[in-house]
Amino acid sequence: MNPSVALGAIDWSRPWLAPWRDRGEPLAEAARRSGVVAALNAALPAGATLRFVDQSELPAGEAYEAFIARTRCVPTRDNLHDLFNGLAWLAYPDLKRQLNRLQAAQLARALPGGPRGAVRDALTLFDENAALLHAPTPILQALHERDWHALFVTHRASWGQVELTLFGHALLEKLTQPRKVITAHVWLLAQPLREGAELAAALTPQVLARKPFLPLPVLGVPGWWAANEDTTFYRDAAVFRPAQKNSGPWAAA
């Protein structure tokens, strides 16, 4: 799809885009007119040291994350993926900076051709596919146990007390064409998400190495998809998979 057409085709009325709409809808329209890089730079607050640059400015052979850490410039393409990435930088700069610092540090100590390692894998999962969840204990317990009936049917009314923000830019991009199988990597929050600084401080290599994510098929969220009003929606075991044995303890960051 032509990038301009794709940018204009985002349905910002979707419930999962609610936390992003006020900033994202005008940004997408500006990007459709002038390009993603120009729109993102125009949306930066006064005095910002971060800049968005064309992908062509990333030198051959230099890692993307290392370049950002060195230059405070984010290589950006004219597409949905990078629009959502830039939107995350605008909305949660402290969190994105921490992810970048940790990725750059991991790259600096990695051996050429060596394995990526658990921390780098977790950072990529967080940046690309994380959902941030603050919820009552019954919701958290059911999610940890992959008890989908309890999570979405028994405790359905409790979803009114849930705060769920889809953070990963690849996740948001995928949901511009919603499919039942789309699943987020959930990061549990002890407190509601605000500007992201507290969560950024909690992201350490030690915590990330444990990959404390829980899977959540996002179209199962009550109110997010008309088909899930029928409880048979949750009987699809290819999407709503049972918990593995020895799944370990869970805790909110």
210 touches 185 (CB < 8 A): no
> What are the tens digits of pLDDT across the range 133-184?
999 999 999 999 999 999 999 999 999 999 999 999 999 999 999 999 999 9
Give the pLDDT band of residue 116 (cuts 50, 70, 90). confident
Of residues 35, 40, 42, the one with CA closest to residue 7:
35
Encoded tokens for 162: 């849930």
In angstroms, the CA 76 to CA 54 distance is 5
Encoded tokens for 171: 């996740």
Q: What is the pTM of this model?
A: 0.94
Q: How many CB atoms lie within 10 A of CB 206?
A: 7
Would you list the domain boundaries of the chain? 3-91, 124-235
Work out the mean pLDDT of the chain and round it to a whole number.
94
In angstroms, the CA 80 to CA 77 distance is 9
Give 152's DSSP letter: I
> What are the tens digits of pLDDT across the range 11-35?
999 999 999 999 999 999 999 999 9
In angstroms, the CA 163 to CA 140 distance is 12
Q: Over range 40-62, report the average pLDDT.
A: 97
